[in-house]
Amino acid sequence: MPFFPKRVQAPDFPVDGIWLNVNQPLDLATLRGQVVLLDFWTYCCINCLHVLPDLHALETQFQDQLVVIGVHSPKFEEEKNPERVALALKRYEIHHPVFHDPSMRLWQEYGIRAWPTLVLLDREGRVAFAVSGEGQKDLLARAIAQLLADGTNRTPAHTGLQKTWQQENRDLWFPTKMAWGGGQLFIADTGHHRIVAVDPDGRMTAHWGGTEAGFAEGDGTQARFREPRGLVWINDELWVADTANHAVRSIDPSRGIIRTVFGDGIQSHRLLLPGNPGSIRSPVRLNSPWDIARSGQKLYLAMAGCHQIWLADTAKREIRPYAGTGQEALTEGSLIEATFAQPSGLCIAPDGLIYVADSESSSIRCIDPEHGVVSTLIGRGLFDFGDRDGGIRFARLQHPLAVTWRDGRVWIADTYNSKIKVLDPQEGKITTVEIDAELNEPEGILDTPAGLFIADTNQHRILLVDPDKGSAQVFHG
């Protein structure tokens, strides 16, 4: 095991930081005698989210022997807000202690260079091992086992310091994406790991999946999802981007049956590139499909986990990478040259152009399928974000997660600015839509025959908005 040959004393937690999921602040003196795993993460980061199941598995494997502490090191301005971080812990069901470090002081003192980075401290509070990136569970398990076997200072891991939050009793829990079909609004009730159907009067008529995450087919009571998001209505069926199951599912509302179309519940760690002839028949593994959009019998998927757009044929049950090299960046060009950065929202205009909310670059991208070209309408790079209206060269967004097409314009859920904005591709400018409701990180927006719906995610509700009047009313939640 490649431990550091010379271990140095780990920097302690700054006293001005904010602790979450604990009853009292922790320090290295209190943790002496235990093996500690520090997870430097931020809640926008898809790779950080992929690490969470590994952390839970390690906590289970080394129960009462390992202390896991998240060090939240924010990238975006919005992520510096401790109230937003506390909501993220609920959304992603994180129960281990988290130290919120908005000044990035620990990040700098430990010499961290990337999200996520995982650092192991030995029983003496010294830095013993560090590794960056996801997919490191087995390597970490071997290192933890060796550190537990070394040394004589053996103190049982703290069990009384964690403060467990409870899920609130609500109709919706962190709702995200939506779809319209059969005269109903379908809602991805993401925090409840289920799909909800709501009639035009806002009454729930059906739901599929349960409040506990899982991966199972069957009827509405047997089937299980895990953080479902993107939804689309196709031929009297609802198709679901089952994000944390790395799968695409379908629901037949008339029979109440859920099937798996693509994916097997396991994340793919194999990067496939667009441009190869032919398609990949199911079964195939996916990587965090975040949204889904339809053009005839074609489905486009925002594959956030591998920074690509994928294309599926619903009739042939075939799927393949469509655009993006898999590098997390902001590059224009052909389908095989362009890059994306955690694409999270899709909509298709009547002329066939595909608009993408490319969240980590805070940008809106446009794919021209006819000419096979990807362009950038708003956005400059991974660390260039803000809250500015105006011409597209001047305008800035902050981690947008959803788009919809309405009246010849792209309507944007500018998630980390908690605003709705409108992009006019012809005029080349963006404006904020003023409504009489305060939003909190909206992750869904959808234009329908019944009106414009917004998923006000952190407030667990769906709003029906009249943009002309600037009015908003709670539709469900």
pLDDT in tens, 78-134: 999 999 999 999 999 999 999 999 999 999 999 999 999 999 999 999 999 999 999
State whether the Cα torsion 244-250-253-254 is positive or negative.
Answer: negative
Domain 175-476 has CATH 2.120.10.30: yes
Q: Which pLDDT does position 6 carry in this prediction?
A: 81
Mean pLDDT, the chain, rounded, equals 94
Give the whole-angstrom CA distance, residue 251 versus residue 197: 11
Q: Which residue has the higher pLDDT, 259 or 64?
A: 259
Q: Which of 109-118, 162-171, 258-267, 352-361 has the lowest mean pLDDT?
A: 162-171
pLDDT higher than threshold 60 for residue 454: yes
Q: What is the residue type of 247?
A: A
The 10s digit of each residue's pLDDT in 369-416 is 999 999 999 999 999 999 999 999 999 999 999 999 999 999 999 999
Mean pLDDT for the stretch of residues 57-83: 96
**3-state SS of 318-339?**
EEEEEECCCCECCECEECCCCE
**Alpha carbons 75 and 252: distance in angstroms, whole number:** 40
> Residue 316: which pLDDT band, with cuts at 50, 70 and 90?
confident
In terms of Cα–Cα distance, which of 132, 3, 8, 31 is closest to 73?
132
Q: Are residues 117 and 45 in contact, defined by beta-carbon separation less than 8 angstroms?
A: no
For residue 348, how many other CB atoms are within 10 A of its CB?
19
Q: What is the CA radius of gyration of the chain?
A: 22
Q: 222 with 172: CB under 8 angstroms?
A: no
The pLDDT assigned to 238 comes to 97
d(CA 284, CA 246): 10
Query: Is 159's pLDDT higher than 90?
Result: no
Write the DSSP symbol of residue 341: S
Question: In angstroms, rounded to a whole number, what is the distance separating the alpha carbons of residues 86 and 23?
Answer: 14
Tell me: pLDDT of 281 over 70.
no
Q: What does the pLDDT look like over 328-354, one tens digit per residue?
A: 999 999 999 999 999 999 999 999 999
CATH of domain 8-150: 3.40.30.10
Q: At 161, is the pLDDT very low, low, confident or very high (cuts 50, 70, 90)?
A: low
For the ranges 43-47, 210-214, 455-459, the lowest mean pLDDT is seen at 210-214
Map out the domains of the chain as residue ranges. 8-150, 175-476
pTM: 0.96
